Structure 1
Amino acid sequence: MAEGLDTAGYEVWVTDVDAEALADCPATWQRHLASAADETAMRGVFAQMDGLDVLCANAGIAGPTALVEDIALEDWRACVSVNLEGAFLAAKYAAPLMKAARRGVITVTSSTAGIYGYPNRAPYAAAKWAVIGLMKTLAMELGPFGIRANAICPGAVEGPRMEGVLAREAAAKGMTRDQVYEGYAVGTSMRAFVEARDIADMAVFLASDQARMVSGQVIAVDGHTENPDPKV
């Protein structure tokens, strides 16, 4: 998303808890080492901004892969904190900046797990459903100020994060990594994983004037998920 918005001509600010990932970002980007779930840190980042056109509340963690009765409360809270409270804090501190300009775009990252639910991923699914409720409320509250809010729901996205999910699900289900991968792929109409650029393209579109009347929407970029419980 950052690369896509950079290409589209935006000045990019990124936050992350991974110092190495930030170091790999272009030097032209404003880079901040901060947790999305840390209110003090997030308040500090937004306090440095003179204005804000587009917010992508994208921070998230996979959380535990286990049956609900086997999930520790601390693991539940950690997952919900980053995925839901991180989006809330970003919106909380972005809203005044956008209201002052009477324009802006907020895009939160949900998931197809926030549309269908997901076995063995209760805290993640719950958080991703909740961010959709947050987004729809933001659209209603902020629309009179010319601010739009939408949610992107990625499916299975190629990359290291998904590889971790595949490994954990394979272990939990007694399957191989390749079996779980195939289950995800055949569970979509397109029979393929999504690529990061597909999500970025949607974020850039939602930020553009071409989407000027698109608000309060839940948009899946997933190749049309047919089966929310991947299996062979």
Structure 2
Amino acid sequence: MMRVLITAGASGVGRAMAEAFERDGWQVWIADVDAAALQNTPAGWRKSHVDVADEEAVSALFAEIGNLWGGLDALCANAGVAGPTAAVEDIKLQDWQACVAVNLEGAFLAAKYAAPMMKAAGQGAIVVTSSTAGQYGYPYRAPYAAAKWAVIGLTKTLAMELGPYGVRANVICPGAVEGPRMEGVLEREAAAKGMTRDAVYEGYASGTALGSFVEGRDVAEMAAFLCSDKARLVSGQVIAVDGFTVNPDPKV
């Protein structure tokens, strides 16, 4: 049976990924910093309370995976935080660093410890969750956009380094995903721009060709596909699941 680790897997997109992989017959291991959310997940999933920006904790997680599973077939480096919503001159350095630590360094650390397992096995798949903010930029969200651009460069490099060992690496760039985290973004962005929450929401939706927000399951199904044999020659790719963004920041 195939084995997948999903970071930030207890809720939102990560949980949708875990459900999609389980439906496809995978063994699922989720890691999350939210202990309460971890408790509210299916009993059949392995679970670890981990801060993905803490190298000691990540190292211990992969040691446990090695001991209990003997290896790993897929990694979904999905952990991310929204970071501050403010003009660049108003962003505090510590807020910048906290955002980059989770979004970029968290993906790096997961890949760092997954790579030896996959290289030894001669196969594996890594999927990193970026964002359309990593393709177009994102006004008032400089640290988030910078980190999401950076994980694309990281993943393309992983595809080059690990390809000779049979390991693939790809990026998913979700658009605006329905859910509690996006609701917080909408409220903060509305305040920063002097707009209503509904106007910001409509701006995101109307900025896509399909006129719609994304659901977690849309991203999850792409992750499951990229880790499957159906995508055996897909590597180093950046795939948007966003309804096709035609205007990344309407009404600004």
Q: TM-score, with normalisation over the residues of structure 1?
A: 0.99
Say yes or no: does 1:23 pair with 2:43: no
Matched residue type, 2:25: G
Say yes or no: does 1:143 pair with 2:163: yes
Match of 1:48 among 39, 64, 79: 64
Where does 1:156-175 land on structure 2 (aligned, <5 Å)?
Answer: 156-175=176-195
Say yes or no: does 1:113 pair with 2:133: yes
Tell me how far 1:226 sits from its aligned partner. 1.0
State the match for 1:66 in structure 2.
86
CA contact (8 A) 1:65 1:169 kept: yes
Query: How many residues were matched structurally?
Result: 232
State the match for 2:225 in structure 1.
205
After superposition, what is the alpha-carbon deviation per residue over 1:72-107, rounded to whole angstroms, capped at 9, x for unaligned?
A: 000000000000000000000000110111000000
- SS for the counterpart of 1:26 is coil
Distance 1:17 1:116 in 2: 29
Distance 1:37 1:22 in 2: 18
State the match for 1:6 in structure 2.
22
Distance 2:185 2:235 in 1: 31
Tell me how far 1:58 sits from its aligned partner. 0.3
Match of 2:149 among 116, 129, 146: 129
Q: Mind listing any 5+ residue stretches in structure 1 that lack a counterpart?
A: none
CA contact (8 A) 1:57 1:106 kept: yes
Q: Mind listing any 5+ residue stretches in structure 2 that lack a counterpart?
A: 1-16
Tell me how far 1:228 sits from its aligned partner. 1.3
State the match for 2:14 in structure 1.
none
Tell me how far 1:48 sits from its aligned partner. 1.1
Say yes or no: does 1:101 pair with 2:101: no
Tell me how far 1:231 sits from its aligned partner. 2.5
Tell me how far 1:6 sits from its aligned partner. 1.0
Identical residues among aligned pairs (%): 73
